[in-house]
Amino acid sequence: MDADVERDIDADVESDVEAGVAGAEAGVDAARVTDADEATSGPHAAGSAGPAGPAGSGIMALSLPYQVVAAVALAVAGVFVCVHLAMVFLHVAPSNTLTKRHGQAVDDWVYPEFEQNWKLFAPNPLQQNVSVEVRAEVVTAGDGRSTTGWIDLTAQDAAAIRHNPLPSHTQQNELRRAVDFYLNSHSDDDSPHGMRGHLSEEYMRRIAMLRLDGLPSLEGADVRRVQLRAVTRPVPAPRWSTEKNDETPSYRELPWWKATGADLPDGATPPDGAAPSRTEAGR
């Protein structure tokens, strides 16, 4: 074969190979571009925020009338919370100009639903233990009368509370609140201050009769009169303290009260000759 012809054939072959390689590379580049376009614009594109959310959320999603109602309700609730917190703070805070001037308004707001039995910064921590004791005059066989020894009601409550993970509110506070009620409504000579004083006496007497009714030693006894006393014992100073305080207990004995039918627990028989209750006397 002629040399010129061979050179022409080789040149044509090389040209065809180069064209094929260039076409393949162009196809690969086009495929890459297509994949990149799909990756950036497709539903699974990286960094895509997904479908667009609603135009508004929360209150802004409501219609205008409902937005106004919700805003007013939130404002009223916010004002109520602020006023309540301010009233409770003034109630538990130490005495100041505001509490002296507006103390009645603060008490009207707090009592009785929001009563607090503690003071901010503990200005007067308890340094005494107060226990309530009771004794009774009972009728024995042959119409004889005898008086029991003093029975510590507070010790009974303490024994019921000790090791009890869920003690009752009555065991924790009934006696303490009853004594506070009585002392705050009576003078030092046990003269009652109006109706509250008489109510506190009835309350104390009925607590005493209820506790005595549950004692095995007085089962079936005819209790005619009861007497209570408050025993105040100072809390001793800790062993590491050099403070010396008088640990002698003090006593405040309340008057003898005659037991009435209204003072007895449900189902108990009134003692013979016991004075009728106010309800029975009015019938």
Q: Copy the structure tokens of residue 242.
A: 């050099």
Query: Which has more pLDDT, 266 or 61?
Result: 61
Q: Copy the structure tokens of residue 154.
A: 């507070």
Over residues 250-264, mean pLDDT: 89
pLDDT at 94: 84
Q: How confident is the model at residue 4 (pLDDT cuts 50, 70, 90)?
A: low
Q: Shortest CA distance to 222 belongs to which of 135, 138, 136?
A: 138
pLDDT at 28: 46
Q: What is the pLDDT of residues 163-173, one digit of tens each?
A: 999 888 888 88
Round to whole Å and give the CA distance between 192 and 202: 12
Neighbours of 229 (CB within 10 A): 14
Neighbours of 91 (CB within 10 A): 19
Among 54-63, 96-105, 158-167, whose mean pLDDT is lowest? Answer: 54-63
Over residues 205-212, mean pLDDT: 91
Round to whole Å and give the CA distance between 159 and 162: 5
Q: What is the pLDDT of residues 71-88, one digit of tens each?
A: 999 999 999 999 999 999
Query: Which has more pLDDT, 197 or 33?
Result: 197
**Phi, then psi, of 15 in degrees rounded to 5:** -65, -40
Round to whole Å and give the CA distance between 38 and 45: 8
Q: What is the pLDDT of residues 98-143, one digit of tens each?
A: 888 888 899 889 887 887 777 666 666 678 888 999 999 998 776 6
User: How many angstroms separate the most distant Cα atoms in the chain?
Assistant: 162
**Phi, then psi, of 226 in degrees rounded to 5:** -135, 155
DSSP single-letter state for residue 260: B
Q: Count Cβ neighbours within 10 Å for each residue of 131-159 and write b for 16 or more, e otherwise.
A: bbbbbbbbbeeeeeeeebeebebbebbee
Whether the model clears a pTM of 0.85, i.e. scores above it, the answer is no
DSSP string computed for 127-174: -EEEEEEEEEEEEEGGGEEEE---EEHHHHHHHHHTT-SS--HHHHHH
pLDDT at 10: 56
